[in-house]
Structure 1
Amino acid sequence: MARTDQNVINLRITIEQPVIGVLHSLQAKDESPLDPKCSREGEPLVFDLQVRVGPGPKFFGDQVRREGPLRRFVYIRVGQYAGDPSSPWSRRMKIDIHDIGNDLLDRAAKSGGVIETTVIGTDKDGTPTCATVRPTGRRIVKR
């Protein structure tokens, strides 16, 4: 697929209620931590990235991972995986993007807005969330 058939879309992943003091980062293409940050007082963590979206929709980009023919997602690395060797946790959050609706993708492409996906960062047992994390919300926000 030619890149001319693709739109660049800005995504934002907002982690609400992260475990205080635990490092989080996007996962780069080479699987290293990218843009590491941690919450000092319970404030949300925000990660911005760009993806290319083609017909289908199909998602492409440095942070986009794939599983099977359709599933596309972004990893948020946690603890040791995010670059903190002293952390007791080595985890990743898998945040699906293939299920972003065409309406949001079209609105973001036309307006230049950002599709914000919000997730909860603390599991029921008080540890950092990991594995597949379901969004609590998706919306268009201004840059």
Structure 2
Amino acid sequence: MTGQPITLRLRIQDPVPGVAYSLQDKKNHPVEPVTASDVSLALDVSVRLAPGPRFLGEFVRSEGPSRRFVYIAIGTSAGQHGSPWTRRAKIDIHTIPEGLLAKALEGAVLEVLLPGRARDGGPACATVVPLEGWRVVG
């Protein structure tokens, strides 16, 4: 297996209560959905980091030569039948600073704080701009 595993934590501030959120694998399947309450929600994703840096793994998607991201599936996309929401949030990971990646290779967890809601009051979706940048949390 190429690359060393690291953990990225996607923390969603103010998610829509009662709505399911999950990571989405490369086959577009939701993985371990969690139903949001009125507190922040965290999804941990394991990726492999190879020299370059290159991001690899079951959840890593690519667009062009350098953009790498993961999807958060929301509502019916996360397997929640009957949800009024069918959305995905794209979270860029290629922008993580190399200094933080070095900490992750030493075992630290890297976290990003994401908005939970879009302008329409529903779950944030499309390319989501973090509320706070990546940081070491553990």
TM over 0.5: yes
Q: Which amino acid aligns with 2:127?
A: T
Q: Which amino acid aligns with 1:76?
A: I
1:65 to 52, 58, 61: 61
Are 2:53 and 1:17 aligned? no
1:83 to 68, 79, 87: 79
Q: Which amino acid aligns with 1:69?
A: P
- In structure 2, what is the equivalent of residue 113 of structure 1? 108
Off by >4 Å, runs of 4+ in structure 1: none
Residues 110-135 of structure 1: CA deviation (Å, up to 9, x unaligned): 2x110011101111221111100011
Residues 30-49 of structure 1: pairs in structure 2 closer than 5 A: 30-40=27-37, 42-49=38-45
CA distance in 1 between counterparts of 2:46 and 2:80 reads 25
Q: Which amino acid aligns with 2:25?
A: A
CA distance in 2 between counterparts of 1:128 and 1:73 reads 18
TM-score, normalised by the number of residues in structure 2? 0.94
SS in 1 for 2:101: helix
RMSD over aligned CA atoms reads: 1.2
CA distance in 2 between counterparts of 1:104 and 1:117 reads 12
- In structure 2, what is the equivalent of residue 103 of structure 1? 99
Q: Which amino acid aligns with 2:73?
A: R
CA distance in 2 between counterparts of 1:57 and 1:136 reads 24
TM-score, normalised by the number of residues in structure 1? 0.91
Overall identity of the aligned pairs, in %: 47
CA distance in 1 between counterparts of 2:27 and 2:49 reads 21
Residues 90-118 of structure 1: CA deviation (Å, up to 9, x unaligned): 110000001001010011212x1100111
Stretches of structure 2 that go unaligned for 5 or more consecutive residues are none
Stretches of structure 1 that go unaligned for 5 or more consecutive residues are none
CA distance in 2 between counterparts of 1:85 and 1:108 reads 36
SS in 1 for 2:80: coil
SS in 1 for 2:135: strand
Shift of 1:54: 1.5
- In structure 2, what is the equivalent of residue 130 of structure 1? 125
CA distance in 1 between counterparts of 2:87 and 2:120 reads 15
Shift of 1:7: 2.4
